[in-house]
Amino acid sequence: MERPVEPDLNDLMGRLGYRFLDETHLRLALLHRSYQAEFDEPGSNERLEFLGDAVLGWVIADVAYHRLPDDPEGRLSDLRQAVVNTHALADRAREIGLGGFVMLGHGEATGGGRDKDSILADAFEAVIGAIYIDGGDAAARDFVHRHLAESVEEMIPVLDTVDAKTALQELCAQQGHHAPHYETLGEGPDHDRVFTANVVIGGRTLGTGRGRTKKAAEQVAAREAIARLTH
């Protein structure tokens, strides 16, 4: 079978915001095992993916440690997992358009492989590994910060919401109350929307919260309800 056209590495480097000293590292990061098998390449991106996974975990752990200086280990782990899970990394890869550059075998390519979460996430990690090999830890750290720092900030209030709502759910069960439910409304234009959430337990509103997102408003409401039930 005829080989597909090689990916435009110069275009991709512009999207990544990093210019490789040795472009063979980037090419290898894009080379899926299905392409390796079909076109008899000497290697695939799996080793770089392994390295990139470790580098990514280290950088995000460092960010979480300094961003949340008073939080316990479990919460730091939750934040890291929320940022580096397969779905989250695949979304970052889609933002870059990485799927259009991944080198796939014919079957994988025609089967929708360019938009598979697992392939995109693996390629994203392999790119991080390639940057680490090519430019060292500073270059890899800079890439991760530029492409994932926003994800860290977005996930912190989400984790707060999960923690507060879970805690309230467990507290209600312990005290024999009905399970809480939330009534949330948004007001204002899309660019300046404010949400108000009421948490209702057994027909009584025990907490009210406001926030820029539905989850943030429910977080505040859940914390207020916890305060009422424990004092």
Nearest of 231, 173, 224 to residue 202 by alpha carbon: 173
Domain definitions of the chain by residue range: 9-157, 177-229
**Catalytic: 125?**
yes
| pLDDT score at 162 | 64
The catalytic residue among 38, 53, 78, 224 is 53
**Per-block mean pLDDT, blocks of 10 residues, the chain (231 long):** 89 98 98 95 97 97 94 82 84 95 95 95 98 98 95 78 83 95 91 90 92 82 85 62
**Catalytic: 117?**
no
CATH architecture of 177-229: 2-Layer Sandwich (3.30)
| pLDDT score at 97 | 98
The catalytic residue among 38, 78, 122, 125 is 125
Report yes or no: 158 and 215 within 8 Å, Cβ to Cβ.
yes
CATH architecture of 9-157: Orthogonal Bundle (1.10)
The alpha carbon torsion through 147, 94, 82, 180 (nearest 10 deg) reads: 130
Residue type, 116: K
Nearest of 38, 32, 41 to residue 102 by alpha carbon: 32
| pLDDT score at 231 | 62
| pLDDT score at 96 | 96
| DSSP states along 7-73 | P-HHHHHHHHT---SSHHHHHHHTB-HHHHHHHT-S--THHHHHHHHHHHHHHHHHHHHHHSTTS-H
Distances from the Cα of 203 to the Cαs of 3, 53, 183, 206, in angstroms? 66, 48, 12, 9
Q: How far apart are CA 27 and CA 185, in angstroms?
A: 49
